[in-house]
C-alpha cells in the first residue's frame, strides 16, 4: 500500500514514467576529448568547397544524410522480412548487400554534418555512429557467412545487425527531433512576422557598412546599411541559430555574402540563398523601404 502511494507521488496519474537514457548521453562528458579531436580532424580534412557542400546537402536544400540512411535501413529491414518468410536466399543476399553499399555514402554525409554540431549533439551522434558501425560489421559478417553457404548463421548475425541498426536509428531520431540537428532553425521566422510593412528604426541610427542586430517583434534581424540601401535577413542562422550580425562580409562570385561566425555557413545577402554549408535551408530575407521621415520599414520577402 505504502509503495503504491510512493509510486503515485512520483508519477502523476495517467502519465508514463520517463526514461531519459538519451538525455544522460547528451550530458556525459566521458568521451569529449576524442570527440573534439575527431570532429576537428574531419573539419580540417574536408576543408571548404564543393565536396563538403555536397555531403551536407546544400544543392538539394536539405541534409543529405537522412534519405541515404533510410535506404540502408530499409534494405536491412527487408532482409529480415525475407529471412523470416523463407524467401529465396539470393534475394536476401542482394538486398543486404545493397544496404551495405548505401552505408558508406550515408556515413560520409553523416560524419560531415556531425563535425559541425554542438558538443551535446556530437555526444549522441558519436554513440549513433558506434551503433551503426556495429550494424555494418554484423551485416558484413552475415553476408560473408551466407556466401560461404552458412545460411542459418548468416541470418542470426543479420538479426543482431538489425538490433544495432535500430539502436542507431533511435539515437539518430533523438539527434534530429529532440536536439534539432539538421533542422532549419530559421523556419519559424516568417510565422512570427504578421503580413504587411513594419517600422524597424531610422536610417540615421544604422552604422555604415557594418552589420548590426535589430529586433522586430519576437525576432532578431541582421541589418546592413550601405548608403541608402538596407539589407535585412533573419539574424539566427538556419543551421544552428548562430548570430549572423557577428559574421564576416565576403564577396562570392561578385555578390556580397555573410559568413556565420559559428560554423561558416555563407548566405547571399540579396535573398538569403545558401552559398556554402553546413546550412542547407536559406536564410529568411526581408524587403525594405524607407519613408520620407527616414524610418525603415520591412516585410518578409515572400510576402511581396
Ligand atoms: S550556426 Fe552553424 S553555421 Fe551558423
Residues 64, 208 within the same domain: no
Q: Say whether pTM exceeds 0.95.
A: no
Quick check: CB of 237 below 6 Å from ligand 1? yes
214 and 163 fall within a common domain: no
Clarify whether residues 147 and 229 are in a common domain: no
3-state percent breakdown (helix, strand, coil) of the chain, nearest 5: 50, 20, 30
Specify whether 193 is located in the same domain as 152: no
Q: Are 134 and 164 in contact (CB under 8 A)?
A: yes
Residue 6: per-residue pLDDT: 53
30 and 174 share a domain?
A: yes
Q: Which residues contact 284 (CB under 8 A, 6 or more apart)?
A: 186, 189, 190, 233, 234, 272, 300, 301
Domain shared by 157 and 73, yes or no: yes
For residue 245 and ligand 1, the question of a CB distance below 6 A is answered with: no
Tell me the CATH number at 238.
2.102.10.10
Q: Does ligand 1 come within 6 angstroms of the Cβ of 239? A: yes
The domain boundary residue, chosen from 122, 147, 178: 178
Q: What pLDDT is attached to residue 21?
A: 81
pLDDT digits (tens, 9 = 90+) for 212-227: 999 998 899 999 999 9
| Residue 295: all three cell numbers together | 524610418
Model pLDDT, residue 303: 42
Chain segment 30-60, per-residue pLDDT in tens:
999 999 999 999 999 998 889 999 999 999 9
Q: How far is the CA of 97 from the centre of ligand 1 (A)?
A: 36
Residue 76 lies in a domain: yes
Clarify whether residues 42 and 107 are in a common domain. yes
* Residues lower than pLDDT 70 in the chain: 1-13, 302-304
**Cβ contacts of 274 within 8 Å, gap of 6 or more:** 58, 61, 238, 265, 266, 267, 280, 281, 282, 283
At residue 10, the pLDDT reads 54
Residue nearest to atom 2 of ligand 1 (CA): 263
C-alpha of residue 243 to centroid of ligand 1, in Å: 8
Task: Estimate the crossing angle of helix 151-173 against helix 89-114, to 10 degrees.
Answer: 30
pLDDT for the residue numbered 304: 40
The finding on whether 244 has its CB within 6 A of some atom of ligand 1 is no
Same domain, 39 and 138: yes
Q: By residue range, what is the domain housing residue 30?
A: 18-178
- Co-location of 174 and 199 in the same domain: no
Domain end residue (candidates: 146, 178, 210)? 178
> Looking at ligand 1, which atom is closest to the CA of residue 185?
1
Helical pair 32-46 and 89-114, crossing angle rounded to 10 deg: 90
pLDDT at 1: 46
Amino acid at each position: 500500500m505504502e509503495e503504491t502511494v510512493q509510486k503515485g507521488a512520483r508519477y502523476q496519474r495517467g502519465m508514463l514514467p520517463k526514461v531519459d537514457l538519451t538525455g544522460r548521453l547528451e550530458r556525459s562528458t566521458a568521451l569529449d576529448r576524442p570527440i573534439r579531436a575527431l570532429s576537428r580532424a574531419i573539419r580540417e580534412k574536408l576543408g571548404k568547397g564543393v565536396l563538403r557542400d555536397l555531403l551536407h546537402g546544400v544543392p538539394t536544400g536539405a541534409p543529405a544524410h537522412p534519405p541515404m540512411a533510410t535506404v540502408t535501413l530499409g534494405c536491412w529491414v527487408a532482409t529480415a522480412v525475407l529471412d523470416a518468410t523463407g524467401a529465396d536466399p539470393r534475394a536476401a543476399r542482394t538486398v543486404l548487400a545493397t544496404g551495405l553499399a548505401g552505408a558508406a555514402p550515408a556515413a560520409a554525409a553523416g560524419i560531415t554534418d556531425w563535425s559541425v554540431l554542438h558538443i551535446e549533439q556530437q555526444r549522441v551522434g558519436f554513440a549513433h555512429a558506434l551503433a551503426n558501425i556495429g550494424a555494418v560489421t554484423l551485416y558484413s559478417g552475415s553476408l560473408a557467412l551466407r556466401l560461404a553457404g552458412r545460411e542459418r548463421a548468416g541470418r542470426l548475425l543479420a538479426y543482431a545487425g538489425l538490433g544495432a541498426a535500430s539502436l542507431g536509428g533511435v539515437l539518430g531520431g533523438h539527434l534530429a527531433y529532440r536536439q534539432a540537428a539538421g533542422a532549419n532553425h530559421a523556419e519559424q521566422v516568417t510565422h512570427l512576422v504578421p503580413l504587411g510593412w513594419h517600422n524597424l528604426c531610422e536610417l540615421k541610427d544604422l552604422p555604415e557598412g557594418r552589420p548590426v542586430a535589430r529586433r522586430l517583434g519576437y525576432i532578431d534581424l541582421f541589418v546592413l546599411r550601405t548608403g541608402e540601401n538596407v539589407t535585412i535577413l533573419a539574424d539566427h542562422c538556419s543551421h544552428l541559430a548562430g548570430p549572423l550580425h557577428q559574421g564576416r562580409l565576403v564577396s562570392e562570385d561578385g555578390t556580397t555574402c555573410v559568413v556565420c561566425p559559428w560554423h561558416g555557413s555563407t548566405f547571399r545577402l540579396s535573398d538569403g540563398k545558401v552559398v556554402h554549408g553546413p546550412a542547407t535551408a536559406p536564410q529568411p530575407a526581408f524587403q525594405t523601404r524607407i519613408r520620407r521621415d527616414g524610418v525603415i520599414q520591412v516585410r518578409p520577402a515572400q510576402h511581396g
